[in-house]
Amino acid sequence: MQPGAATTPEQAPQTPSDPGVVRVWRATSATAVTFLDGLSPVCVPFAGWWDAEAGRRRELRTPEHRAAWIAARHHRAVASVSVAQARSQCKTAREASANPLTASRRAARLAAKAARGRRKAARADVKAARVTYPAALHQRALQAHAAHAVPAGVVSWLSSQDWPVEMSAGLLGLHAAGLWLGRRHAVAPAVVEESTSVEERQLLDRLHPEYWTAHAADRGLAGTLTTPPAIGSGGIRCEVRLDGTWTVKALAAKADSIRALLGARTALRLRITGGARGGWAV
């Protein structure tokens, strides 16, 4: 007879269906979700600002604003060429006569001064046109991250160290994680109830960012942008972003213009206060 085989069975490896593994997985998942839920409120203001700013820039990037920006850049280029030509004329006049009071040199100086003035005005026009036709927010984000990613890659390659690239990648990941966490529990847009009156519906429609952006400049409110309004127990509430030199006090002084833009009744109470963060009104 051959000796019997060992009777001690080998311990079988656990599978994902084992109760112990399932309990550990559920506990880990619950802990991770709880941790993310705790971080989400911290990132909500950043995600809200990002979405509001992206929406504001998207509303301003119209074909009309783009055409105005391109025309302003063309005028700036023409003005720069005029300045170069005026400088050349001044140089030619100086070579022709050593007397600074001659008519040719005086005319050349006046032409150069006028050309510089036109170039300065053209640069101001380009700057103003760029405000009304801003770059998309994701383009600005890519430019900002490229400003640190490219030097980090060069430094990492020259020094044979990984920490510059790791730090740059960490900034990119932090940006993406902040947006994702801030949007995890985003508040859905308020649904207009059937009981809403016609007047309230009109106010909600005119407080919408699309309508506000299209008509705010006509009422002297350019540089302000609303967020989607909501109806609460105290009435309609809407946040307004204040750009440039706008302040809460300046916006409150424009109450008549706001009332005209909304088409609101004179007797309707309009309250304007500061928002939860700087640069915003409610």
Looking at the structure, tell me whether residues 145 and 268 fall in a common domain.
no
Looking at the structure, tell me whether residues 42 and 181 fall in a common domain.
yes
pLDDT, greater one: 200 or 10: 200
**Beta-carbon count within 10 A of 206 CB:** 17
Output the pTM of the full model: 0.52
The pLDDT tens digits of the residues spanning 34-43 come to 777 777 888 8
Q: pLDDT band at 147, cuts 50/70/90? A: very high
Q: pLDDT band at 267, cuts 50/70/90? A: confident
- Cβ–Cβ under 8 Å, residues 281 and 273: yes
Looking at the structure, tell me whether residues 204 and 273 fall in a common domain.
yes
Q: What is the pLDDT of residue 75?
A: 94
Looking at the structure, tell me whether residues 232 and 177 fall in a common domain.
no
Of 118, 121, 140, the C-alpha closest to 129 is 121
Average pLDDT on 49-73 reads 90
Q: pLDDT band at 239, cuts 50/70/90? A: confident
Distance from chain centroid for Cα 7? 71
Looking at the structure, tell me whether residues 46 and 159 fall in a common domain.
yes
| Dist. CA 40–CA 42, nearest whole Å | 5
Q: Packing angle between helix 198-207 and helix 255-262, nearest 10 degrees?
A: 110
Is pLDDT of 19 > 80? no
Q: What is the pLDDT of residue 195?
A: 62
| Dist. CA 77–CA 21, nearest whole Å | 69
Q: What is the pLDDT of residue 3?
A: 45
Looking at the structure, tell me whether residues 89 and 222 fall in a common domain.
no
| Dist. CA 278–CA 282, nearest whole Å | 11
The pLDDT tens digits of the residues spanning 165-191 come to 899 999 999 999 889 888 876 554 444
Looking at the structure, tell me whether residues 204 and 263 fall in a common domain.
yes
Of 181, 261, 156, the C-alpha closest to 216 is 261
By the 10 Å C-beta count (0-12 exposed, 13-18 middle, 19+ buried), 230 is classed as: middle
Looking at the structure, tell me whether residues 216 and 113 fall in a common domain.
no
Helix (H, G, I), strand (E, B) or coil at 235: strand
Looking at the structure, tell me whether residues 69 and 118 fall in a common domain.
yes
Of 161, 167, 175, the C-alpha closest to 149 is 167
| Dist. CA 105–CA 96, nearest whole Å | 9
The pLDDT tens digits of the residues spanning 113-135 come to 999 999 999 999 999 998 889 99
Is pLDDT of 2 > 60? no
Whose structure tokens read 């440039």? Answer: 244
- Cβ–Cβ under 8 Å, residues 272 and 235: no
- Cβ–Cβ under 8 Å, residues 211 and 202: no
Look at residue 14 and tell me if it is in a domain. Answer: no
Structural domain range at position 42 = 38-61+136-185
Looking at the structure, tell me whether residues 86 and 155 fall in a common domain.
no
**How many domains does one find in the chain?**
3
The residues near 201 (Cβ < 8 Å, ≥ 6 apart) are 192
Look at residue 68 and tell me if it is in a domain. Answer: yes
